[in-house]
């Protein structure tokens, strides 16, 4: 019988089997060649999985907030109050955020166009009124500043939502964040209700327990390995300590020191008695007598003074400290450093303002949205900040123009964002690029007319007249740079004036009204009328006059140019008379706009003024006050209605500026026509999509100085009018 073949076992395989058996029996790791080794077996139960940090054992047993931190709440507050520069920066940042305008609106659905945003409803009005005084004691600005103080200094802002007996939200009361101690669950996080999440420590004892729903605690800069937030003050604590010591050093220059400020070096030949006699004499005539110190003194030869104290001046170290602290709060250091290039300084200031405000705006929005959702139960409503332009109207117009030209924004988006206007209609779009009007200049003026001589040729005089007539009928560019500049300046002045007037009227509604019965207020229409009367309409008239004068004179230049005349070739007396007439209109219209007229260089009331904006303002305020009285509005509701009313908004200011600039431009044209001697009248051109009254005027002519039905001898006929006129030459 054949012997079976025996295959020997590989030694390496046998070694691995033996090593595996040894590990199973004894737990010893098999030998590895410089391997990582096996980790020690986990000892904690499965419930520890996901623990946020390796917090100290028994951390909930501490009786003081931040007890385990190197820097306490009290120290941070002391630093913020002791260092003048830091306190100024904190207050500046609070001022910047508190002055911003805000509102409450319904959330837009995804994909909703900018000009089709959801309209606010009654719930929005209810929230706006509630947030005017969230804690029923302070107004919005003061309430917000209290929260920002704890946010910026200790990063522990806390709000207590106080409830009514029925369980509804009554007020939102700020609480000193330094008294709030966080409680951690097994995972190192804030426990969910009904377990207490926070304890308020008063007099060193845990006084009150709060759940997550009973207290709003929102640090802006939490970290996984820390229980409390990291405030900007704590971020620069070393720098602030250094600055405080430098500040103390500079103060000691004026308050401390054993060495006199001035030491005299006397001649070596003087004895001790002579030195003592001179010292007594010198001190006796100066001590306690300020008037003597300014008189001339004579001293013996060889006596020389030495100043022993260095002058304490600002140096590079002060600037470095200021830059660090300002950077921590995203505030421009420009006021605290040496002068720099103006453009660079302005750019840096704007950048610091934008970068610093945006995160804090987001924090406030998150807080308010949380309150709206949790305590009012409305998930479709949000808190929003009004966009505030940091540039002038003219600069903003140029920015918008570039965005539209680069196809980043659509014109309709700019209309909705800047003025709240709807999208352009097809007629308006057609009117944006009107076709040049064709005018029949009569026999002998066209190429089809063979001419009186019958030879098909025109003499030089006919050619010149034809060229002149064609130039005269070209409409003037109503969006040229001079118009845009003057209109923007006028719009900005009117908007600022109306905003200030709205603010004063809203303040009157809040503090000038009296309570007549429970839940209702007694408003005095006369008080509001007097407040409007006291407004500085005369200052607005002077600001508007400046823009109207500039635009009317430019209208004169445009009128002569439309007639084919080079402004340099216009006789000086003719140009001066045209400008004088145009300026006279600008002065009269600026006064009439606010219900005034000029008498001996002074503005006085004009009861016969037309198209005056102060009457519209009075009428609207009277409507609001009447509604408030009849419907029993609260003072804050009326104040908010005044502040948000479109009568005081940017859209109305823009409409007024656009209309008045069109008037001044056209009146300047008429002044040029009248003084040129070449124009006998004007012809009306109705703009596409304008009103029926203007459509009836299309093609009608009027002699210079004769009005159209709306009472003026030129276009426009009314606000938002898109019509124009062209001159009719005498030789036509």
pLDDT band at 599 (very low <50, low <70, confident <90, very high): confident
Q: Is the predicted pLDDT of residue 138 greater than 80, yes or no? A: yes
Q: Is the predicted pLDDT of residue 298 greater than 60, yes or no? A: yes
Q: Please tell me the predicted confidence (pLDDT) of residue 441.
A: 39
Element of type H or E holding 517: strand 514-517
Question: Could you give the CA distance from residue 248 to residue 253 in angstroms, rounded to a whole number?
Answer: 9
Average pLDDT over residues 400-427: 72
Average pLDDT over residues 663-669: 92
Q: Is the predicted pLDDT of residue 732 greater than 50, yes or no? A: yes
Question: Could you give the CA distance from residue 680 to residue 174 in angstroms, rounded to a whole number?
Answer: 74
Q: At what angle do helices 635-644 and 481-511 cross, to 10 degrees?
A: 180
Average pLDDT over residues 547-565: 89
Which residue in this structure is represented by tokens 């519209």? 616
Say if residues 726 and 669 touch (Cβ distance below 8 Å): no
Element of type H or E holding 680: strand 679-685
Radius of gyration of the chain, Cα coordinates, nearest whole angstrom: 40
Q: Please tell me the predicted confidence (pLDDT) of residue 166.
A: 84
Q: Please tell me the predicted confidence (pLDDT) of residue 435.
A: 45
Say if residues 673 and 704 touch (Cβ distance below 8 Å): yes
User: How does pLDDT run across 473-483, given as a tens digit for each residue?
Assistant: 678 888 888 88
Question: Could you give the CA distance from residue 594 to residue 267 in angstroms, rounded to a whole number?
Answer: 81
Say if residues 475 and 685 touch (Cβ distance below 8 Å): yes
Q: Please tell me the predicted confidence (pLDDT) of residue 21.
A: 62
Structure tokens at 626: 């009447």
Helix (H, G, I), strand (E, B) or coil at 217: strand
User: How does pLDDT run across 355-366, given as a tens digit for each residue?
Assistant: 667 888 899 999
CA distances from 309 to 287, 304, 306 (A): 20, 16, 9
- Identify which has the larger pLDDT, 650 or 732: 650
Which stretch, 123-127, 276-280, 339-343, has highest mean pLDDT? Answer: 123-127
Q: Please tell me the predicted confidence (pLDDT) of residue 534.
A: 86
Q: At what angle do helices 140-153 and 73-82 cross, to 10 degrees?
A: 110
Task: Please tell me the number of Cα atoms within 13 Å of 572 on its side-chain side.
Answer: 0
Strand partners, 200: 180, 208
- Identify which has the larger pLDDT, 67 or 32: 67
Average pLDDT over residues 130-152: 94
Count the residues in the chain: 732
Q: Give the range among 60-74, 373-387, 460-474, 584-598 with minimum mean pLDDT.
A: 460-474
Structure tokens at 513: 């009204």
Q: Please tell me the predicted confidence (pLDDT) of residue 116.
A: 53
CA distances from 383 to 108, 127, 169, 328 (A): 12, 9, 17, 27
Q: Is the predicted pLDDT of residue 343 greater than 90, yes or no? A: no
Q: Give the range among 252-261, 584-593, 623-632, 716-725 with minimum mean pLDDT.
A: 252-261
User: How does pLDDT run across 8-43, given as a tens digit for each residue?
Assistant: 656 565 666 666 666 555 555 555 677 787 788 888
Residue 685, phi then psi, degrees to nearest 5: -120, 115
The string of DSSP letters for 612-633 reads: -HHHHHHHHHHHHHHHHHHHT-
Q: Please tell me the predicted confidence (pLDDT) of residue 413.
A: 76
Question: Could you give the CA distance from residue 695 to residue 703 in angstroms, rounded to a whole number?
Answer: 19
Q: Please tell me the predicted confidence (pLDDT) of residue 142.
A: 94
CA distances from 637 to 506, 689, 690 (A): 10, 39, 38
Q: Give the range among 83-97, 436-450, 712-726 with minimum mean pLDDT.
A: 436-450
pTM: predicted TM-score of the whole model, two decimal places: 0.49
The string of DSSP letters for 156-183 reads: --EEEEEE-TTS-EEEEEEE-GGGEEE-
Q: Please tell me the predicted confidence (pLDDT) of residue 472.
A: 45
Which stretch, 296-310, 399-413, 647-661, has highest mean pLDDT? Answer: 647-661
For the chain, what is the mean pLDDT?
Answer: 80
Percent of the chain with pLDDT over 90: 27
Q: Where are the alpha helices (DSSP H) in 40-175?
A: 73-82, 84-98, 122-131, 140-153
User: How does pLDDT run across 500-517, given as a tens digit for each residue?
Assistant: 999 998 888 887 766 665
Burial track 240-265 (b if 16+ CB lie within 10 A, e otherwise): beebbeebeeeeeeeeeeeeeeeeee
Q: Is the predicted pLDDT of residue 486 greater than 50, yes or no? A: yes
Q: Is the predicted pLDDT of residue 463 greater than 50, yes or no? A: no
Q: Is the dihedral of CA 184, 185, 189, 195 positive or negative?
A: negative
Q: Please tell me the predicted confidence (pLDDT) of residue 392.
A: 56
Q: State the CB neighbour count (10 A cutoff) for residue 272.
A: 7
Q: Please tell me the predicted confidence (pLDDT) of residue 179.
A: 95
pLDDT band at 139 (very low <50, low <70, confident <90, very high): very high
Q: Is the predicted pLDDT of residue 540 greater than 80, yes or no? A: yes
Q: Please tell me the predicted confidence (pLDDT) of residue 78.
A: 92
Strand partners, 262: 307
- Identify which has the larger pLDDT, 24 or 317: 317
Question: Could you give the CA distance from residue 643 to residue 649 in angstroms, rounded to a whole number?
Answer: 9
Q: 652: Cβ–Cβ under 8 A, 6 or more apart, which residues?
A: 498, 646
Structure tokens at 88: 């100024």
Percent of the chain with pLDDT over 70: 76
Question: Could you give the CA distance from residue 445 to residue 447 in angstroms, rounded to a whole number?
Answer: 7
User: How does pLDDT run across 40-57, given as a tens digit for each residue?
Assistant: 888 888 888 888 888 888
CA distances from 71 to 57, 60, 68, 235 (A): 20, 19, 9, 11
Q: Please tell me the predicted confidence (pLDDT) of residue 239.
A: 87
pLDDT band at 196 (very low <50, low <70, confident <90, very high): very high
Q: Give the range among 99-113, 364-378, 707-721 with minimum mean pLDDT.
A: 99-113
Q: Please tell me the predicted confidence (pLDDT) of residue 436.
A: 44
Average pLDDT over residues 646-669: 90
């Amino acid at each position: 019988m054949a012997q079976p073949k025996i295959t020997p076992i590989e030694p390496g395989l046998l070694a691995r089997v033996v090593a595996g058996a040894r590990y199973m029996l004894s737990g010893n790791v098999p030998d590895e060649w410089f391997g990582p080794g096996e980790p020690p077996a986990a000892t904690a139960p499965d419930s520890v999985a996901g623990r946020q940090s390796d917090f100290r054992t028994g951390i909930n047993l501490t009786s003081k907030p931040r007890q385990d931190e190197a820097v306490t709440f009290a120290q941070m507050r002391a630093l913020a109050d002791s260092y003048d520069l830091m306190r100024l920066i904190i207050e500046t940042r609070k001022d910047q955020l508190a002055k911003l305008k805000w509102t409450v609106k319904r959330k837009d659905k995804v994909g909703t166009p900018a000009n089709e945003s959801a309209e606010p409803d009654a719930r929005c009005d209810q929230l706006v009124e509630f947030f005017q005084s969230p804690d029923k004691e302070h107004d919005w600005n003061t309430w917000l500043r209290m929260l920002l103080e704890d946010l910026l200094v200790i990063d522990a802002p806390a709000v207590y939502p106080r409830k009514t007996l029925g369980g509804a939200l009554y007020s939102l009361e700020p609480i000193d964040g330094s008294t709030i101690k966080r409680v951690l669950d097994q995972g190192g996080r804030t426990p969910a209700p009904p377990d207490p999440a926070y304890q308020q420590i008063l007099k060193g004892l845990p006084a009150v327990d709060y759940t997550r729903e009973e207290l709003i605690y929102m640090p802006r800069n939490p970290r996984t390995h820390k229980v409390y937030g990291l405030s900007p003050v704590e971020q620069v604590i070393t720098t602030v300590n250094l600055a405080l010591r430098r500040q103390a050093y500079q103060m000691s220059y004026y308050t401390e020191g054993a060495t006199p400020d001035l030491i005299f070096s006397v001649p070596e030949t003087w004895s001790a008695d002579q030195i003592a006699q001179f010292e007594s004499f010198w001190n006796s005539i100066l001590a306690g007598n300020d008037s003597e110190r300014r008189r001339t003194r004579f001293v013996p030869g060889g006596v020389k003074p030495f100043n022993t104290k260095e002058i304490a001046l600002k140096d590079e170290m002060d600037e470095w400290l200021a830059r660090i602290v300002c950077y921590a709060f995203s505030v421009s250091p420009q006021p605290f450093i040496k002068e720099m290039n103006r453009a660079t300084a302005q750019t840096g200031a704007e950048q610091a303002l934008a970068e610093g405000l945006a995160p804090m705006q987001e924090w406030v929005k998150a807080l308010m949205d949380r309150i709206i959702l949790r305590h009012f139960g409305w998930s479709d409503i949000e808190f929003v900040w009004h966009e505030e332009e940091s540039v002038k109207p003219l600069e903003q117009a140029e920015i918008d123009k570039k965005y539209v030209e680069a196809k980043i924004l659509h014109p309709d988006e700019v209309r909705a964002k800047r003025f709240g206007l709807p999208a352009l209609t097809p007629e308006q779009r057609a009117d944006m690029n009107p076709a040049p009007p064709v005018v029949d200049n009569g026999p002998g003026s066209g190429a089809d007319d063979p001419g009186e001589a019958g030879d098909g040729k025109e003499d030089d005089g006919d050619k010149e007249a034809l060229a002149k007539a064609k130039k005269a009928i070209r409409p003037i560019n109503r969006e040229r740079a001079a118009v845009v500049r003057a209109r923007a300046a006028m719009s900005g002045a009117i908007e600022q004036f109306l905003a200030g007037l709205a603010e004063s009227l809203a303040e009157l509604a809040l503090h000038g009204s009296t309570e007549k019965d429970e839940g209702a207020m007694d408003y005095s229409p006369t008080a509001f009328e007097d407040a409007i009367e006291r407004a500085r309409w005369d200052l607005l008239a002077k600001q508007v006059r400046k823009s109207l004068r500039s635009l009317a004179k430019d209208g004169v230049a445009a009128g002569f140019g439309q007639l084919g005349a080079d402004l340099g070739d216009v006789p000086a007396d003719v140009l001066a008379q045209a400008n004088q007439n145009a300026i006279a209109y600008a002065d009269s219209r600026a006064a009439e706009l606010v219900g005034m007229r000029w008498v001996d260089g002074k503005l006085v009331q004009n009861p016969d003024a037309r198209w005056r904006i102060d009457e519209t303002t009075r009428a609207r305020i009277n409507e609001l006050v009447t509604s408030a009285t009849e419907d029993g509005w609260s003072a804050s509701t009326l104040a908010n209605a005044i502040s948000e009313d479109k009568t005081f908004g940017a859209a109305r200011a823009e409409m007024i500026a656009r209309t008045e600039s069109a008037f001044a431009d056209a009146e300047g044209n008429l002044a040029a026509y009248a003084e040129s001697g070449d124009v006998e009248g004007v012809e009306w051109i109705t703009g596409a999509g304008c009103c029926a009254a203007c459509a009836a005027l299309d093609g009608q002519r009027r002699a210079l100085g004769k009005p159209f039905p709306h009472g003026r001898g030129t276009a426009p006929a009314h606000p938002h009018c898109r019509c124009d006129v062209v001159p009719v030459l005498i030789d036509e």
